[in-house]
Amino acid sequence: MELKVKESVYEPMEDSHMMQREIEIRAKGKKVLDIGTGSGIQAITAALAGAKEVWAADVNPIAVRCAQSNAEANNCDINFVESDLFTYVPKKKFDLIVFNPPYLPSDGIHEDLRWSGGLEGIEVILDFLSQVKPFLARDGAILFIYSSYANPDRLAKMMKRFGFKLEVVSQKHIFFEDIFVGLATIG
Ligand SMILES: C[S@@+](CC[C@H](N)C(=O)[O-])C[C@H]1O[C@@H](n2cnc3c(N)ncnc32)[C@H](O)[C@@H]1O
């Protein structure tokens, strides 16, 4: 895959590649939505794996343009929207919704949309989980990244409260944290 990343756009890291591997085995024939697309890596992975339809969103307009040009470089037909979470995502049902969110706790001063997931690190993913259901097909699934460093126990509790079943499909120790790929279904 050919990817160019501009300043202020998340350079794909190990978390991106963990997510990519899970998308590769699940996207074929599916309608896929990638929230927080950044460079477009996950949306492009879904398109190259044979997804039926792919939408991608990011709140950062520079990321949206960067992902659009990466999609063109890889001959992928992807629909992009500049959107804070689901605000401008069309009201469709997706089979697979993926989000590698900003998931590190922030100090409240140095906020960066690429990394800062709020004071606990899970605020952005919790907002996402509170809004995702109307966009998810009945037997659809969500793939998302989270960290042992950002209150995973409260995240698991909140997921139950939102009515999701959570399964860890991939896990890796990186520097000071364990990174997880969670698979959530309505359960
Ligand atoms: C950790 S990066 C992941 C980028 C890419 N998906 C990947 O896997 O490499 C998080 C991305 O989420 C975007 N983002 C942060 N808050 C968002 C929000 N409220 N709505 C949409 N995108 C958001 C950031 O701009 C950034 O591109």
Distance in Å from the first CA to the final CA of the chain: 35
Two tokens at 113?
């949309």
Is position 5 within any domain?
A: no
Structural domain for 35, as ranges: 14-186
**CB of 116 closer than 8 Å to CB of 110:** yes
Largest CA distance in the chain: 43
How many folded domains does the chain comprise? 1
By most ligand atoms within 8 Å of CB, the mutation choice from 7, 113, 144 for ligand 1 is 113
Give nearest CA residue, ligand 1 atom 27: 38
pLDDT tens, residue by residue, 43-53: 999 999 999 99
* Per-residue pLDDT of the chain in tens (187 residues, 90 and over written 9): 999 998 899 999 999 999 999 999 999 999 999 999 999 999 999 999 999 999 999 999 999 999 999 999 999 999 999 999 999 999 999 999 999 999 888 877 778 888 788 888 899 999 999 999 999 999 999 999 999 989 999 999 999 999 999 999 999 999 889 999 999 999 8
Is position 4 within any domain?
A: no
Is position 6 within any domain?
A: no
Is position 115 within any domain?
A: yes
pTM, two decimals, is: 0.96
Is position 36 within any domain?
A: yes
**CB of 103 closer than 8 Å to CB of 151:** no
Is position 101 within any domain?
A: yes
Residue 113: predicted pLDDT: 85
By most ligand atoms within 8 Å of CB, the mutation choice from 100, 115, 123 for ligand 1 is 100
Is position 3 within any domain?
A: no
Residue 7: predicted pLDDT: 86
pLDDT tens, residue by residue, 86-129: 999 999 999 999 999 998 888 777 788 887 888 888 999 999 99
**CB of 64 closer than 8 Å to CB of 76:** no
- Domain CATH number, residue 34: 3.40.50.150
